[in-house]
């Protein structure tokens, strides 16, 4: 009797477990088999942006822009006669999941490249994965720089492209010299402010105070009180995400206008302005390479298509634009080397690639994998758009290591020393970056 009990127990357990496992994994194998059937006819591109969680607010628009670009490429006949097939993963705004999903895209789906990531944290978490498994990442965000990775192509602005003209412009054209720096408490604002301070020192400005607010904090009455009593005449903000909205709203609520103390920011976009309401942003300044109001014909097409696809209230911004043209860079690079091999793309396909983007002609630098862009300064107007008040006459070379802070460092993937060390197997080479000390 007892034995039978034991046996039935084991059997039922096994049956139950088997059933659950089968039920849980069946859809997976189902989708896998569909995907496998479609293989060969398509080229897979990974899309890695959070669709849920806190950062989804911003990242889902990058996701949309990339899908739009892929649709356009496919409508024109695809690449090498094949369609690009986006493989979408949702990292849920968590860095661990970013790393995990990146691994899945490279090892399981075997994508040719990944368009993805937004925050510095997510990029830093996936970079080791891309370096170890030799994948290609196109990263569209403006970021703190001081980095270059063989496997990553940075299509967003580096601080020097946004600040080198912006800070002197504030001092000379706006005539404001006393800066109050406020930022979110993580690497991007800290590194950016380091450069701002260096530039202020160089151009005769002055840092009144430097303050960092915890990410996600949305109560700024204290900070605004500090700003008012500090005697500054311009606020330089690198707050991010929903903080931007709360800060601008409360700033106006406490009666400080853009005429008294304007907010200058390298990160506030049209998207945040739409969320805070144009009346709260009007008169404040942002420095970017792209604004929705840029008057190029390519931009008109881009904005129209984006609105047709995602609703007429949708706004575009610089990071979305970078995400958008990243996909074209990738398509052109695959066409150029006529292969989907990662090394071919990294060494020949992507470097030097040019594209007529909404902001103008952009180019991936041959040496440092960053992108040549067109710095602009915009003043927010009553319609929630930016009036471009200053445009640089020529595009600007990306400098991941700014000379006034790091005089003897540079990135150069064409340098013999770098090429030598990158040719070694991943596990043996200890320095995998493209940085060289001069």
Considering only residues 414-433, where is the footprint of other proteins by CB under 8 A? 430-431, 433
- How would you write 261-312 as a 3-class SS string? CCEEECCCCHHHHHHHCHHHHCCCEEEECCCCCCCCHHHHHHHHHHHHHHCC
**Rounded least distance, CB 353 to other proteins, Å:** 24
- How would you write 121-138 as a 3-class SS string? HHHHHHHHHHHHCCCCEE
Considering only residues 306-365, where is the footprint of other proteins by CB under 8 A? none
Considering only residues 276-305, where is the footprint of other proteins by CB under 8 A? 276-277, 279
**Rounded least distance, CB 124 to other proteins, Å:** 5
DSSP letters spanning 176-241: --EEEEEEESSHHHHHHHHHHHHHHHHHT-EEEEEEEE-TT----HHHHHHHHHHT-SEEEEE--T
The residue among 25 and 172 lying less far from other proteins, judged by its C-beta, is: 25
The residue among 31 and 206 lying less far from other proteins, judged by its C-beta, is: 31
The residue among 274 and 388 lying less far from other proteins, judged by its C-beta, is: 274
CA–CA separation, 322 vs 325, rounded Å?
5
CA–CA separation, 15 vs 74, rounded Å?
46
Q: Identify which range of 65-73, 268-276, 328-336, 375-383 contacts other proteins by CB under 8 A.
A: 268-276
- Give residue 146's Cα distance to chain centre: 15
Choice from 80, 107, 174, 356 touching other proteins (CB under 8 A): 107
For residues 141 and 319, the answer to whether their CB atoms sit within 8 Å is yes
Q: Identify which range of 24-32, 289-297, 332-340, 412-420 contacts other proteins by CB under 8 A.
A: 24-32
**Rounded least distance, CB 88 to other proteins, Å:** 6
Distant-in-sequence, close-in-space partners of 5: CB < 8 Å, separation ≥ 6? none
**Rounded least distance, CB 411 to other proteins, Å:** 10
Let me know how long the chain is. Answer: 438
Considering only residues 115-154, where is the footprint of other proteins by CB under 8 A? 120-121, 124-125, 127-128, 146-148
Which neighbouring-strand residues pair with 355?
Answer: 362
CA–CA separation, 294 vs 375, rounded Å?
12
3-state helix, strand, coil in the chain (%, to 5): 45, 20, 35
Considering only residues 201-260, where is the footprint of other proteins by CB under 8 A? 211-219, 221-226, 228-229, 242-246, 249-250, 253-256
The residue among 11 and 414 lying less far from other proteins, judged by its C-beta, is: 11
Choice from 31, 33, 173, 206 touching other proteins (CB under 8 A): 31
Considering only residues 156-195, where is the footprint of other proteins by CB under 8 A? 185-187, 190-191
The residue among 219 and 366 lying less far from other proteins, judged by its C-beta, is: 219
The residue among 46 and 349 lying less far from other proteins, judged by its C-beta, is: 46
**Rounded least distance, CB 310 to other proteins, Å:** 9
CA–CA separation, 392 vs 346, rounded Å?
30
Q: Identify which range of 157-165, 274-282, 290-298, 321-329 contacts other proteins by CB under 8 A.
A: 274-282
**Rounded least distance, CB 267 to other proteins, Å:** 14
**Rounded least distance, CB 268 to other proteins, Å:** 12
Of residues 97, 90, 102, the one with CA closest to residue 128 = 102
For residues 392 and 379, the answer to whether their CB atoms sit within 8 Å is no
Choice from 43, 45, 56, 267 touching other proteins (CB under 8 A): 56
The residue among 25 and 414 lying less far from other proteins, judged by its C-beta, is: 25
Choice from 43, 69, 73, 89 touching other proteins (CB under 8 A): 89
**Rounded least distance, CB 338 to other proteins, Å:** 28
**Rounded least distance, CB 148 to other proteins, Å:** 8
Could you tell me the maximum CA-CA distance found in the chain, to the nearest angstrom?
Answer: 94
The residue among 51 and 361 lying less far from other proteins, judged by its C-beta, is: 51
Residue 82 touches other proteins, criterion: CB under 8 A: no
Query: Between 381 and 420, how does the x/- string for binding to other proteins read (CB under 8 A)?
Result: ----------------------------x-----------
Binding footprint of other proteins, residue count (CB under 8 A): 95
In terms of C-beta distances under 8 Å and separation of at least 24 residues, what long-range contacts does 119-124 make, across chains too?
119/55, 119/188, 120/144, 120/186, 120/187, 120/188, 121/95, 121/186, 121/187, 122/55, 122/91, 122/95, 122/98, 123/152, 124/95
Question: In a 3-state reduction of DSSP, which class is residue 250?
Answer: helix
The residue among 53 and 168 lying less far from other proteins, judged by its C-beta, is: 53
For residues 367 and 378, the answer to whether their CB atoms sit within 8 Å is no
């Amino acid at each position: 009797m007892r034995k039978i009990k034991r046996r039935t127990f084991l059997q039922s357990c096994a049956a139950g477990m088997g059933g659950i496992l089968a039920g849980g994994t069946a859809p997976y194998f189902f989708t896998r088999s569909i995907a496998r059937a479609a293989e060969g006819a398509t080229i897979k591109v990974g899309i890695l942006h959070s669709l849920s969680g806190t950062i989804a607010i911003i990242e889902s628009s990058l996701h949309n822009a990339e899908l739009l670009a892929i649709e356009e490429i496919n409508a024109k006949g695809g690449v090498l006669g094949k369609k690009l097939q986006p493989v979408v993963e949702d990292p849920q705004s968590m860095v661990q999941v970013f790393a995990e999903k990146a691994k899945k895209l490279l090892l399981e789906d075997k994508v040719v490249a990944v368009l993805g990531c937004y925050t510095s944290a997510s990029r830093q978490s996936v970079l080791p994965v891309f370096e170890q498994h030799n994948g290609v990442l196109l990263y569209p965000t403006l970021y703190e720089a001081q980095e270059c990775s063989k496997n990553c192509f940075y299509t967003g602005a580096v601080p020097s492209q946004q600040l080198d003209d912006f800070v002197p412009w504030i001092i000379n054209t706006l005539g404001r010299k006393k800066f109050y720096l406020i930022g979110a408490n993580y690497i991007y604002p800290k590194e950016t402010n380091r450069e701002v301070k260096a530039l202020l020192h160089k151009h005769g400005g002055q840092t009144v105070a430097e303050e960092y607010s915890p990410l996600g904090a949305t109560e700024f009455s204290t900070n605004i009180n500090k700003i008012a009593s500090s005697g500054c005449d311009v606020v330089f903000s690198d707050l991010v995400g929903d903080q931007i909205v709360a800060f601008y709203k409360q700033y106006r609520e406490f009666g400080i206008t853009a005429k008294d103390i304007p907010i200058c920011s390298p990160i506030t976009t049209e998207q945040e302005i739409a969320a805070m309401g144009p009346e709260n942003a009007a008169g404040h300044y942002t420095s970017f390479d792209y604004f929705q109001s840029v008057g190029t014909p390519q931009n008109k097409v881009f904005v129209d298509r984006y609105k047709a696809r995602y609703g007429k209230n949708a706004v575009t911004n610089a990071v979305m634009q970078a995400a958008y043209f990243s996909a074209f860079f990738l398509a052109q690079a695959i066409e150029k080397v006529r292969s989907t091999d990662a090394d071919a793309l990294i060494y020949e396909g992507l470097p030097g690639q040019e594209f007529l983007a909404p902001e103008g002609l952009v180019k991936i630098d041959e040496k440092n994998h960053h992108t040549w862009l067109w710095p602009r300064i915009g003043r927010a107007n009553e319609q929630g758009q930016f009036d471009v008040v200053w445009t640089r006459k020529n595009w600007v070379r990306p400098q991941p290591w700014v000379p006034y802070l790091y005089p003897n460092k540079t990135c150069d993937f064409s340098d013999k020393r770098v090429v030598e060390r990158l040719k070694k197997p991943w596990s043996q080479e200890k320095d995998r970056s493209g940085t060289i000390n001069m």
